[in-house]
């Protein structure tokens, strides 16, 4: 069996670097954080595979490559305050803890919140707070944020969530559906928000950000 350190190196070299991720801090975070600790025991053998991993009935851990590309797109600085939405078992928050000054991670599954808190605490990542809350509401009390990462595919981003960004802040996520999706960065400049489409990708769909159904005659 390949050791976990070697498996992390193989993941970075064969799955992440090969998809144009060149930011050293992002690569180093993926080399450092033990992904196997954030997956269910039944999935540990697949922790470093190029695949989504089911964490719970509602949460799926993103593949390493698209997550790395999203983090590179976010361009997180060492003094940034970052909000991670749909934190799942805490892996993405752990990665961001190596990039940012402070991380607030929100998840609405109480069991996952506890698991994430325990794992992150055991690893000594003391700049991360994992809390339970409504994903679509964000965590306005701890903002405004330099970066908001929504870990999954959304149908829409609520305006009140965008307003939790600082002036000059950015939100990154995947916009689309199960047929077509693209990574996007939304930049705040004063009261104006501009959207940049970055690259085609895929990520687990977050039902909490579904567009309202419309009916036509």
* The CA-based dihedral angle spanning residues 89, 93, 95, 100, taken in that order and rounded to the nearest 10 degrees: -170
- What's the distance, Cα to Cα, between the start and end of the chain in Å? 59
Instruction: Check residue 164 and report its DSSP letter.
Output: T
Mean pLDDT along residues 74-96: 97
What is the pLDDT at residue 215?
47
Residue whose C-alpha is closest to residue 155's, from 74, 89, 76, 211: 211
Tell whether 217 is covered by a domain.
Answer: no
Tell whether 76 is covered by a domain.
Answer: yes
Number of domains making up the chain: 1
Count Cβ atoms below 10 Å from residue 38 Cβ, excluding itself: 26
Q: What is the pTM of this model?
A: 0.92
pLDDT-derived band at 212, boundaries 50, 70, 90: low
CATH number, residue 186: 3.40.50.150
State pLDDT tens for residues 4-44: 889 999 999 999 999 999 999 999 999 999 999 999 988 88
Tell whether 214 is covered by a domain.
Answer: no
What is the pLDDT at residue 178?
66
Tell whether 215 is covered by a domain.
Answer: no
Residue whose C-alpha is closest to residue 93's, from 75, 105, 78, 76: 105
Give yes or no for a contact between 36 and 61, defined as CB atoms under 8 angstroms apart.
no
pLDDT-derived band at 202, boundaries 50, 70, 90: confident
Tell whether 25 is covered by a domain.
Answer: yes
Tell whether 151 is covered by a domain.
Answer: yes
- pLDDT greater than 80 at residue 3: no
Host domain of residue 77: 4-209
Tell whether 216 is covered by a domain.
Answer: no
State pLDDT tens for residues 146-185: 999 999 999 899 999 999 999 999 999 999 876 788 999 9
Tell whether 17 is covered by a domain.
Answer: yes
Give yes or no for a contact between 61 and 47, defined as CB atoms under 8 angstroms apart.
no
- pLDDT greater than 90 at residue 58: no
Q: Which residues contact 85 (CB under 8 A, 6 or more apart)?
A: 106, 135, 138, 148, 149, 150, 151
Q: What is the three-class DSSP state of 40?
A: coil
pLDDT-derived band at 213, boundaries 50, 70, 90: low
């Amino acid at each position: 069996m390949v050791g976990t350190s070697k498996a992390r190196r193989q993941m970075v070299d064969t799955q992440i670097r090969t998809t144009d991720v060149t930011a050293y801090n992002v690569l180093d975070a993926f080399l450092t954080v033990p992904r196997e600790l954030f997956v269910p025991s039944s999935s540990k053998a697949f922790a470093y595979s190029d695949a989504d991993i089911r964490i719970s009935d509602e949460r799926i851990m993103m593949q390493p490559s698209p997550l790395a590309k999203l983090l590179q797109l976010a361009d997180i600085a060492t003094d940034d305050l970052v909000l991670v939405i749909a934190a799942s078992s805490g892996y993405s928050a752990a990665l961001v803890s190596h990039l940012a000054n402070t991380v607030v991670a929100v998840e609405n599954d109480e069991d996952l919140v506890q698991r994430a808190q325990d794992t992150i605490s055991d690893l000594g990542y003391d700049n991360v707070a994992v809390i339970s809350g409504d994903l679509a509401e964000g965590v306005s009390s701890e903002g405004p944020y330099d970066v908001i990462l929504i870990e999954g595919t959304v149908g829409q981003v609520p305006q009140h969530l965008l307003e939790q960004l600082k002036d000059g802040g950015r939100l990154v996520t995947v916009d689309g559906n199960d047929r077509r999706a693209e990574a996007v960065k939304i930049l705040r400049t004063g009261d104006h928000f501009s959207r940049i489409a970055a690259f085609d990708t895929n990520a687990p769909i977050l039902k909490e950000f579904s567009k309202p159904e419309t009916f036509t005659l």
